[in-house]
Structure 1
Amino acid sequence: MRPQAVVFDIGRVLIDWNPTGFYDREIGETARRALFAEVDLEAMNESVDMGRPFAASVEALARAHPRWAREILLWRDRWLDMASPAIPHTVRLKQALRDRGVPVFALSNFGVETFDIATAAYPFLLDFDRIWVSGHHGMMKPDPEFYAALEQGCGHDPAALLFADDRPENIVIAARRGWQVHLFDGPQGFAERLVADGLLNEEDAR
C-alpha cells in the first residue's frame, strides 16, 4: 500500500538532540563521562517527557548532586543548545509533503515546557496536521498506547502510515502495529524512501 500520511519523530529527525556533544564542548569529555556516570540525566529527561515540570525536575536533580549542580543546571539554562540546529533537508521534506497535500503528523517524546521552547525557536515544529507530544499524554514511545493514541486521532488506517524515527525500538513497535516504517539515519535516505513510495518526486526531495 502506498502511504497516505507521514508521521515524524522530532529529535534527531527535524532538529538535532545531542546532550553528549553539548557537555563535551562545555566541560570536556572526561568530566562529561564522570557526570553522566554519576547522575542519571537521562532518567530525569524521561520524567520531563512524561509530563513532569521541566525546571523543577532539573533543579531537584541539582540539589541531589551538589558536586555537579552547576553542570546539571546547564540542562535547564542551555537546553536549546542541546536541541540545535535544525536539520534543514528534513524540514524541506516535510514542507514538500505538505505542499503536495500529504497529511503529516508528529509523534515525539517531549516535555510540555521543552516543546514550547523548541517551537518558539523552530516554528516549523507546529506546522503539522496534528501533533502528539508525550508530555501532554503522560505516555511515551515505545509504549504501544502512545501509538494507539495517534491511530485513534489521525483518521488513517495504521497500514497507511509511514513513520520515520531514529530509534530502532520505536520503529519496532510501529511495525508491529502495521505501520510502514523508516529507520532514520539521515535526511537523504528518508528522501529516497519518500520518492520510492511515490510521495515526492526527485526534485521535491532534494
Structure 2
Amino acid sequence: MSSVRHIVFDIGKVLIHYDPELPYARLIPDEDERRWFFANVCTHEWNLEQDRGRPWHEAEALLIADHPDRADLIRAFRLNWHEMVVPHYADSVAILEALIEDGHDVTMLTNFAADTFGEAREMFDFLSKPRGVTVSGEIGLIKPDREIYDHHAKAFGLDPAATLFIDDSLKNVEGARAAGWQAVQFTGAGQLKADLEAAGIAVYAPTA
C-alpha cells in the first residue's frame, strides 16, 4: 500500500452488529415462516432503499399494500430496529478510538437510513468521535456506487490515493478501489489490526 493519511470506517458489521433476525426470532418463531418473510416481504433490497433515502412510511405502505395481513410485522421492522444493532464490536471500536487518539484522520462512510443513524448515535457515543460521517440516507447515494465515494472524499478533503477504507462487504471494498481508494475487507478486529499495520499504521489497542 502507498502512504495512508485518511482512514474511513464503515459502520454496520464493522463497528456495530446488524441482524434483523434478532427481533424477528421473537416475532415470527417459526424458522421457515421467518425465512419466507425476509425473502418475500422485508427483503434486503427493500431495506436498502431506506438507506438510499426512502422514508419509512412510504416503504411500509408499499409492502402493506401487497401484504395487508402482515402489516404489523412490516411495521415491526422499524419499531424494533434498535434490537438489530446490538452489540457493538468492542475490539473494532477500540481500534477506531486508538486511531483517533493517536491523531489519525478518521471518518465514516455508511449505508444507513437517516433516522436510524440518528438513533444509533444516541445508542453508541463512539459514532460521534470520528471527524465526520457520510450517511447514505442523508444524501441519496449508496455504496458501492462511485458517486458516494467521490462525495465523501470531496466533503472531507480526502486524497483518494491516500485513503484506506474498511468495509465488511467485498462489493463496497471493490467500489472504493474503483474510486481510487485503498481498501480492505473487514473480517475481524485481529485482521484489521494486521491490515492497518501493513499500511504502516501502528495500532495501540488490544484485540481478542
Q: Verify: 1:119 aligned to 2:110, yes or no.
A: no
Shift of 1:67: 2.5
Instruction: Determine the C-alpha separation between the residues in 2 that align with 1:120 and 1:139.
Output: 23
The one-letter amino acid of 2:78's match is R
Extract structure 1 runs of 4+ deviating beyond 6 A: none
Q: Give a deviation string over 1:83-118, Cα, whole Å, max 9, x none.
A: 111111111111000011101111101111111111
| Alignment map for 1:34-183 (pairs within 5 Å) | 34-183=36-185
Instruction: Determine the C-alpha separation between the residues in 2 that align with 1:86 and 1:25.
Output: 21
Instruction: Determine the C-alpha separation between the residues in 2 that align with 1:125 and 1:56.
Output: 28
Shift of 1:146: 0.5
Q: Give a deviation string over 1:12-68, Cα, whole Å, max 9, x none.
A: 001011113442354232111121232143233122111122245235423431222
Unaligned runs of 5+ residues in structure 1 are none
TM-score (norm 1): 0.91
Contact 1:111/1:134 (<8 A) preserved: yes
SS in 2 for 1:36: helix
Identity %: 36
Contact 1:54/1:114 (<8 A) preserved: no
Q: Give a deviation string over 1:123-150, Cα, whole Å, max 9, x none.
A: 2112211210001111100110000001
Unaligned runs of 5+ residues in structure 2 are none
Contact 2:42/2:74 (<8 A) preserved: no
Instruction: Determine the C-alpha separation between the residues in 1 that align with 2:21 and 2:122.
Output: 23
User: Cα gap change, 1:200/1:55 in structure 2, threshold over 3 Å: closer, same or farther?
Assistant: farther
Aligned to 1:20: 21
Contact 2:136/2:142 (<8 A) preserved: yes
SS in 2 for 1:204: coil
SS in 2 for 1:104: strand
Shift of 1:200: 2.1
Q: How many residue pairs end up in the alignment?
A: 205
The one-letter amino acid of 2:107's match is F
Question: In angstroms, what is the RMSD of aligned CA positions?
Answer: 1.7
- Between stretches 142-151 and 21-30, larger displacement belongs to 21-30
Contact 2:50/2:137 (<8 A) preserved: yes
Aligned to 2:190: 188
The one-letter amino acid of 1:72's match is I
Contact 1:61/1:72 (<8 A) preserved: yes
